[in-house]
């Protein structure tokens, strides 16, 4: 099976999928789409992903969208190493930890929302940064407690899971926007442990095609 990943180097949703593919030891080619330039809005890409969002993973002739669904599909098709625990309780907890990021933090801090804040509501950069920090802090406060309850070396137990695939990219975003991480020592420690693994390190945005930020004055 051949894999083609349509992504954007700074997309945290794409970052999650790169981590998952790397953890599974699957090779893939990348097609970068610069979201700042609207490269994801072409009719050709819309034929693959009707939302015109990244990532899209094309496996042979099938296009998969939405990073949580892609990660769970990968886990079902290539069960080793597992991204979800073997027991129902553990799976529910890991899915909840990932959902704090994928459902509650990321959607209201992504490029589309920030662009709307800036253009329609005339928010200043200080106000945008405060918006981002508010929602990251709310999610991280809950996640810190869950890691304290269920974590080991990683967010859940001693092996990387779906929760770590979501957490590491969100940490990248938090650091990018200078969010104070001092209140979240377990999150920071867990992220550091994960990022030391080659599968996470190779997925880092700075190492992806198109990563050179040649248009720093455009919307982030």
How is the chain split into domains, by residue range? 3-80, 88-201
Topology adopted by domain 88-201: Glutathione S-transferase Yfyf (Class Pi); Chain A, domain 2 (1.20.1050)
pLDDT band at residue 213 under the 50/70/90 scheme: low
Q: What is 3-80's CATH superfamily?
A: Glutaredoxin (3.40.30.10)
For strands 3-7 and 29-32, give the pairing. parallel
Contact 83, 156 (CB under 8 A): no
pLDDT in tens, 130-152: 999 999 999 999 999 999 999 99
Pair 167, 194: CB distance under 8 Å: yes
- Give this prediction's pTM: 0.94
Residue 212 CB coordination number (10 Å) = 8
Residue 31 in tokens: 């097609």
Give the DSSP letter string of 179-207. Answer: ---TT-HHHHHHHHHHHTSHHHHTT-GGG
């Amino acid at each position: 099976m051949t894999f083609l990943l349509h992504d954007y180097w700074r997309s945290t949703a794409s970052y999650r999928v790169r981590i998952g593919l790397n953890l599974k030891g699957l090779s893939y080619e990348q097609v970068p789409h610069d979201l700042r330039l609207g490269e994801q809005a072409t009719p050709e890409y819309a034929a693959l992903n009707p939302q015109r969002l990244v990532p899209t993973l094309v496996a042979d002739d099938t296009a998969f969208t939405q990073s949580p669904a892609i990660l769970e599909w990968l886990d079902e098709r290539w069960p080793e190493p597992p991204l979800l625990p073997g027991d129902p309780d553990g799976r529910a907890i890991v899915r909840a930890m990932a959902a704090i990021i994928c459902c509650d933090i990321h959607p209201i801090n992504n490029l589309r929302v920030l662009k709307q804040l800036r253009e329609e509501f005339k928010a200043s950069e200080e106000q945008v940064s405060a918006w981002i920090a508010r929602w990251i802090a709310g999610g991280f406060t809950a996640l810190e407690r869950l890691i304290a309850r269920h974590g080991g070396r990683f967010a859940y137990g001693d092996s990387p899971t779906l929760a770590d695939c979501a957490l590491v990219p969100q940490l990248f975003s938090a650091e990018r926007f200078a969010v104070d991480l001092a209140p979240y020592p377990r999150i920071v420690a867990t992220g550091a442990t994960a990022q030391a693994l080659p599968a996470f390190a190779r997925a880092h945005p700075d190492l992806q095609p198109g990563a050179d930020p040649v248009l720093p004055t455009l919307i982030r």
